[in-house]
Amino acid sequence: MDLLVVGSVALDSVETPYGRVEKALGGSAVYFSVSASYFTGVGMVAVIGQDFSEDYVDFLKSRNIDLRGLKREHGLTFQWRGRYDSDLNEAKTLDTQLNVFEDFRPLVPDEYQEASVIFLANIDPELQLNVLEQVKHPRLTICDTMNFWIEKKPDQLKETIERVDILIINEGEARQLSREYNLIKAYQKISSYGPKTLVIKQGSYGALLFTPSSIFSAPAYPLESVLDPTGAGDCFAGGFTGYLAKSQGSAEKELNKAVIYGSVMASFNVEDFSLGRLRTLTLDEVEERFESFKGLTQF
């Protein structure tokens, strides 16, 4: 098990102009793990309730995701209900039921403490920090967050960010966290907080990667049909982190490739609701789309 993720497992009810699902498999740890599982072994630290279907557990196991860190508690699984309008850029949250997630205290199993790569999905920064304290000497730590934590727990968030190598956030969050509109200035500010590498996700416009010596720009893969953007950011992080865990390096060239693998995984995920597309996706299809990113960007 090379890669450890802590995050949420959820039952998502989502409506877009192209359809809807009720209590479908979701959550940051799920999207991340399934996406990363195309590249490396993943162990998940998360919590589910009594209502979480064994079918979903079996699907995660079929992706070789190590579930020794997945605890089933009394109560219901975390539920999220949201809607997207036709531009599909921003989810409107209609309802959130934390349920068993409310008292979630991540406990990293002994077997995971040697994980070389750690991904802290978007949860309370205090829990993220708590996980970092339970692991021994990871080679690479990567973290996500969101506007809610930037506003509500800025000090705790800074404490977590200070200790990670790479931060992955979206454009609006990068501006909010740094208080800089210009993204180069935002990177300079954020790198002074700790992480020397920053990935800024730009939705349908792709992603930017900043390191102390370079900037890399990846487009989003143009798709004629996008059904549901839920989980795209976590699938991006899964492809990015999974590739870095597998490649054993984080040289500039590997980071660039990792961003493209992240974009590849996100592009497949939005083609269907929930994890529908990832249930049938093959590694050959992943490699084929990686190649087609070359045609899309090279001149």
Using CB under 8 A, list all residues that contact its own copies: 86-87, 181-185, 202, 205-206, 208, 214-219, 222-226, 253, 256-257, 259-260, 293-299
C-alpha distance across the termini of the chain, in Å: 39
Please, which residue, 104 or 243, has the CB nearer to its own copies? 243
Integer angstrom CA distances of residue 128 from 74, 110, 112, 286, 293: 23, 17, 15, 30, 33
**The tokens of 59 are what?**
């699907």
Rounded to a whole number of angstroms, the minimum distance from the CB of residue 222 to its own copies is 5
Please, which residue, 76 or 296, has the CB nearer to its own copies? 296
Please, which residue, 60 or 260, has the CB nearer to its own copies? 260
Rounded to a whole number of angstroms, the minimum distance from the CB of residue 198 to its own copies is 12
Integer angstrom CA distances of residue 137 from 70, 115, 133, 292, 298: 22, 8, 10, 37, 38
Alpha-carbon span 104 to 119, nearest angstrom: 17
Find out whether 49 and 100 touch, Cβ atoms under 8 Å.
yes
Rounded to a whole number of angstroms, the minimum distance from the CB of residue 260 to its own copies is 5
Rounded to a whole number of angstroms, the minimum distance from the CB of residue 29 to its own copies is 27
Rounded to a whole number of angstroms, the minimum distance from the CB of residue 208 to its own copies is 7
Please, which residue, 67 or 91, has the CB nearer to its own copies? 91
Rounded to a whole number of angstroms, the minimum distance from the CB of residue 230 to its own copies is 18
Find out whether 102 and 75 touch, Cβ atoms under 8 Å.
no
Torsion angles phi and psi, residue 210, rounded to 5: -115, 130
Alpha-carbon span 214 to 216, nearest angstrom: 7
Rounded to a whole number of angstroms, the minimum distance from the CB of residue 217 to its own copies is 4
Alpha-carbon span 194 to 119, nearest angstrom: 16
Of 200, 239, 228, the residue nearest 33 (C-alpha): 239
Please, which residue, 156 or 176, has the CB nearer to its own copies? 176
Q: Are strands 10-16 and 42-48 parallel, antiparallel or unpaired?
A: unpaired
Please, which residue, 124 or 173, has the CB nearer to its own copies? 173
Alpha-carbon span 136 to 289, nearest angstrom: 36
Give the number of other CB atoms < 10 A from CB of residue 53.
13
Please, which residue, 113 or 214, has the CB nearer to its own copies? 214
The DSSP secondary-structure symbol of 229 reads: -
